[in-house]
Amino acid sequence: MTVSLPRSALVTGVAGFVASHLAEALLDHGTQVTGLDRRSPETDAVAAANLTACLGRPGFTLARADLIDCELAPLLATVDVVFHLAGIPGVRASWGARFPEYVASNIVATRRLAATCHQLGVPRLVVASSSSVYGPAGDRPVTEDGPTRPMSPYGVTKLAGEQLSLAYGSLPQPATTVVALRYFTVYGPRQRPDMLIQRALQAALGGEELLVYGDGKQRRDFTFVGDVVRASLLAAGVPGPAEVLNVAGGNSVSVTEVLATIAELTGRPVPTRSAPDQAGDVPGTWADTSKARSLLHWQPRTGLADGLAQQLDWLRCHQPGGHR
Ligand code: NAD
Ligand code: UGA
């Protein structure tokens, strides 16, 4: 990678799936990383597993803190870049009783962080946004200037957080420049346990059968976590006060096609059961990534079959139920 990486960075949501990979990559490049999360590896098994490769590594400091009310100034004093990935993810759960948490973490805490970065003059804020800001894809890949019509409460909160962050970058002579990355359905080792591919691989390895929502024809532009990390690192150095970029694998693939590829890889069909359509589940996502190609000189490198094989290998090594 030819980009100049920050000497010092704050990574929020570091105990999570994507941010833990990002923190590892930054450490590999010699960046001093403060990783912030409200989940603790001492009390949360997923956080502990995600942070295994970071904890104890020179250059890594873990800050257990809630972005809603923690003291931000000491965390931001010396950083060149903030990678803000903390948030409440998950489209389907956002209709339920946890909606106030989505608002608190995805909107209120994001605005608070962006405002404090601006006050303290942190040079660059990179924010994790989401494909769910768009609503359903048409018959062409969506560009960043396409309409934003989120179909779920989650998507509404991600759009609000993204736009609030970009508003700080759009101030005259902004103290903090902002890049919002619209990640499209990320998968790979350590994927969240509520997501399709993790559940399907677990089912194929003998775990609970997978509930397939709707007819299985819904399509996603699945993106390998290594590609998401590379785009996020490059976003630290891209010029411009306020940019929004799609980060996606480049192909729209149906749930049924994913299950067929997993069956080929594992040599056994994925056991499934039909379940009703889920509210807010868009029929398809599909991204045009030419802006990331031209601004970041980035393109996805890992195709679905290869990425699924990497996630499967990881699962076989790390899950008690996983066996070769
Ligand atoms: P994750 O749940 O694994 O990680 C999110 C982390 O943020 C968690 O460890 C959580 O404890 C932490 N967090 C939440 N609210 C916090 C707060 N107020 N203070 C401190 N920590 C807090 O999720 P993920 O899948 O790794 O997603 C990371 C980010 O990327 C999220 O912002 C999500 O909306 C976005 N995103 C994810 C995907 C995907 O497919 N995984 C796609 C698009 C966008
Ligand atoms: C994912 C993440 O969960 C969100 O946090 C993120 O913001 C979003 O991507 C995004 O791209 O912005 P989703 O696309 O719903 O959301 O990802 P999965 O949970 O992997 O679901 C993919 C498809 O599989 C959906 O159509 C879903 O209905 C289906 N699915 C999922 C099932 O049929 N069964 C399951 O058990 C899980």
- Report pLDDT digits (tens) over 209-247: 999 999 999 999 999 999 999 999 999 999 999 999 999
Catalytic, 134? Answer no
In a domain, 269, yes or no: no
Q: What tokens were used for 214?
A: 């709707």
Mutate to test the pocket of ligand 1, among 11, 12, 36, 37 (most ligand atoms within 8 A of CB): 37
DSSP sequence for 77-140: TT-SEEEE--S---SGGGGSTTHHHHIIIIIIHHHHHHHHHHHHT-SEEEEEEEGGGT-S--SS
In a domain, 19, yes or no: yes
The protein residue whose alpha carbon is closest to atom 4 in ligand 2 is 90
User: What string of pLDDT tens digits covers the 324 residues of the chain?
Assistant: 556 789 999 999 999 999 999 999 999 999 999 999 999 999 999 999 999 999 999 999 999 999 999 999 999 999 999 999 999 999 999 999 999 999 999 999 999 999 999 999 999 999 999 999 998 777 899 999 999 999 999 999 999 999 999 999 999 999 999 999 999 999 999 999 999 999 999 999 999 999 999 999 999 999 999 999 999 999 999 999 999 999 999 999 999 999 999 999 999 999 999 999 999 999 999 999 999 999 999 999 999 999 999 999 999 998 765 444
The greatest distance separating any two alpha carbons of the chain, rounded to the nearest whole angstrom, comes to 58
Note the pLDDT of residue 324: 41
In a domain, 1, yes or no: no
The protein residue whose alpha carbon is closest to atom 35 in ligand 2 is 196
Query: What is the number of domains present in the chain?
Result: 1
Note the pLDDT of residue 41: 98
Q: What tokens were used for 245?
A: 């970029």
CATH number of the domain that 80 lies in? 3.40.50.720
In a domain, 315, yes or no: no
Amino acid residing at 191: Q
In a domain, 258, yes or no: no
Is the minimum distance from the CB of 37 to ligand 1 under 6 angstroms?
yes
In a domain, 51, yes or no: yes
In a domain, 113, yes or no: yes
Note the pLDDT of residue 138: 79
Note the pLDDT of residue 322: 44
Note the pLDDT of residue 3: 61
Q: Which residues line ligand 2 (CB under 6 A)?
A: 89-91, 130-132, 184-185, 195-196, 199, 210-213, 218, 220, 255, 278, 281
Q: By the 8 A CB rule, do 284 and 162 touch? A: no
Range of the domain at 170: 8-186+223-250+286-301
The protein residue whose alpha carbon is closest to atom 3 in ligand 2 is 90
For residues 276 and 15, give the distance between their C-alpha atoms in angstroms, rounded to a whole number.
32
- Taking the CB of residue 279, how many other CB atoms lie within 10 A of it? 13
In Å, how far from its chain's centre is CA 244?
15
Distance 270 CA to ligand 1 centre (A): 27
Predicted model pTM: 0.98
C-alpha distance from residue 270 to each of 51, 190, 200, 244, 266 (Å): 30, 19, 7, 37, 9
For residues 28 and 22, give the distance between their C-alpha atoms in angstroms, rounded to a whole number.
10
Sheet (strand 124-130) strand order: 60-64, 32-37, 8-12, 81-84, 124-130, 177-183, 242-247
For residues 182 and 299, give the distance between their C-alpha atoms in angstroms, rounded to a whole number.
14
58-87 burial string, b = 16+ CB within 10 Å, else e?
eebebbbbebeebebeebbeebbbbbbbbb
Q: By the 8 A CB rule, do 164 and 111 touch? A: yes
In a domain, 151, yes or no: yes
